[in-house]
Amino acid sequence: MAPVLEKQLLGAAGAGDNNNEDEEGQNLWSSILSEVSTRSSSKLPSGKNILIFGEDGSGKTTIMAKLQGADHSKKGRGLEYLYLNVHDEDRDDLTRCNVWILDGDLYHKGLLKFAVSAQSLADSLAVFVADMSRPWTIMESLQKWASVLRDHVDKLKISPEEMREMEQNMVKAFQEYTEPEDATPSSPQRRAPTAGDDEGVVLPLGDNTLTHNLGIPVLIVCTKCDAVSVLEKEHDYREEHFDFIQSHIRRFCLQYGAGLIYTSVKEEKNLDLLYKYIVHKLYDFQFTTPALVVEKDAVFIPAGWDNEKKIGILHENFTTVRPEDSFEDFVVKPPVRKLVHDKEINAEDEQVFLMKQQSLLAKQPATPTRGATESPGRTASGSPRPSVRAGQPTVSGGSPMTAVKKPDPNMKGAAANEGVLANFFNSLLSKKTGAPGSPGTGTGAVGTGVQGSAKKTEAGFD
């Protein structure tokens, strides 16, 4: 009996050990499966989209290529596609974020249907790019592209209940914004959920806040902010101008519940901050940077931080403009300077030019030569020819000037002038000395004198 009882006891002990091993094996597999399921649930989601809107030349492709890590990017037409690599270092996870860049020409706005659909809208972030080097175009550009996106969202076949839920999520995210903790990690990290998220105090929205709710997060990116110094030097922009521009942009951000960031690819300003904020909004990464409003060319305002009172601080510095003044009336486009060499001038062929000049000269009347214009009464030497030749009848009662002796051409100018005056007055005196009763005598004498003078002159020339 004893050996049989011993065998039974040993068999029972062996069965117990096998049961314990099976339980440990099941627990091990359960822990492995639970860990895999946990990792799969915390894995970075795929299919996130960034929609980029902006004018041609605003720098939207350049800044996204810079975030991608490509120094030289090829700019396309219509609808461009890029992607950003998003890495979660805590869980060693990697995913791609789609980037869709719409052309600055409104003709291509229909291509948005390939970038965002009713199913992917909830996983999208809208980015409106404004060019700070041309500040007079900012507000018109923002209004235009926001209207384009609004029209596209309205055309999507989204149920009213789903759209209302998306809008409520936007309102909740805006109201629950809190200042980040004072921590600056070296790389983006996943934010761990906290237990007291739903117990915070929710503040009511302002009158002009989220009045244009698109149901998706919106970010305003001002590019080329290094042009602030250029605007100050060349266009006489003052601190008041930049405060006025910032005031209007921030009020626009309130209407769409958007964030605002000033960037510069040239100076690499706020590019890392832009990337961290994008992955924070799309993937809920930890974000620890507070609002930055001190530097006029490096402003950062996260969605939910701003309100009308904070914007009113900018209005305190206004001296020549009021907050409600029109943006276009104060931020005026400078006059365009016309270039001197705007129009290209083609030189005419030399032979054609000479032929034209020849035809013009042929049409003009002939110009008389110098010899023909000289008085016929003068010879080549300039001496006067005799007006009365021998044998010709003299004219009685002629002018006294006919009796004036001509000056010798060899005499100097002053002496010749004196001789002419003397002869003139002598002829007058000789005319007056004639007898009053016998005019014929005097006339004859004068005539004889003139004829004699003429003969002497002719004899002198001959």
Tens of pLDDT, residue by residue over 14-46, are 555 555 666 666 677 777 776 655 555 567 888
Binning pLDDT at 50, 70 and 90, where does residue 455 land? very low
Place of tokens 């001002």: 222
Position 349 pLDDT exceeds 60: yes
Binning pLDDT at 50, 70 and 90, where does residue 223 land? very high
Residues 273-292: what's their mean pLDDT? Answer: 93
Q: What's the number of CA atoms in the CB half-sphere (13 Å) around residue 22? A: 6
Binning pLDDT at 50, 70 and 90, where does residue 194 land? very low
pTM of the model as a whole: 0.64
Position 383 pLDDT exceeds 50: no
Position 403 pLDDT exceeds 90: no
Binning pLDDT at 50, 70 and 90, where does residue 357 land? confident
> What SS3 class is residue 126?
strand
Choice among 51-65, 160-174, 354-368 with the minimum mean pLDDT? 354-368
Per-residue pLDDT tens over the stretch 287-344: 999 999 999 899 999 999 999 999 999 999 888 889 889 998 898 888 876 555 566 7
Tokens of 370: 């110098």
Residue 378 is classified by DSSP as: B
Choice among 26-40, 184-198, 278-292, 348-362 with the minimum mean pLDDT? 184-198
Sheet of strand 79-88: strand arrangement: 79-88, 93-102, 49-53, 124-131, 218-223, 259-262, 300-301
Residues of the chain with pLDDT > 90, as a percent, come to: 42
Higher-pLDDT residue of 80, 451? 80
Question: Contact at 8 Å (CB) between 121 and 72?
Answer: no
Q: In angstroms, rounded to a whole number, what is the distance separating the alpha carbons of residues 270 and 265?
A: 9
Higher-pLDDT residue of 388, 151? 151
Binning pLDDT at 50, 70 and 90, where does residue 92 land? confident
Binning pLDDT at 50, 70 and 90, where does residue 359 land? confident
Question: Contact at 8 Å (CB) between 223 and 265?
Answer: yes
Tokens of 306: 């701003």
Binning pLDDT at 50, 70 and 90, where does residue 360 land? confident
Q: In angstroms, rounded to a whole number, what is the distance separating the alpha carbons of residues 75 and 96?
A: 21
Per-residue pLDDT tens over the stretch 199-215: 556 778 888 899 999 99
Position 356 pLDDT exceeds 80: yes
Q: Output the pLDDT for position 218.
A: 96
Q: Are strands 79-88 and 93-102 parallel, antiparallel or unpaired?
A: antiparallel
Position 261 pLDDT exceeds 80: yes
Residues 126-139: what's their mean pLDDT? Answer: 95
Question: Contact at 8 Å (CB) between 248 and 327?
Answer: yes
Helix (H) or strand (E) holding 209: none
Q: Please provide the DSSP assignment of 418-438 as one string.
A: HHHHHHHHHHHHHHHTS-SS-
Position 127 pLDDT exceeds 60: yes
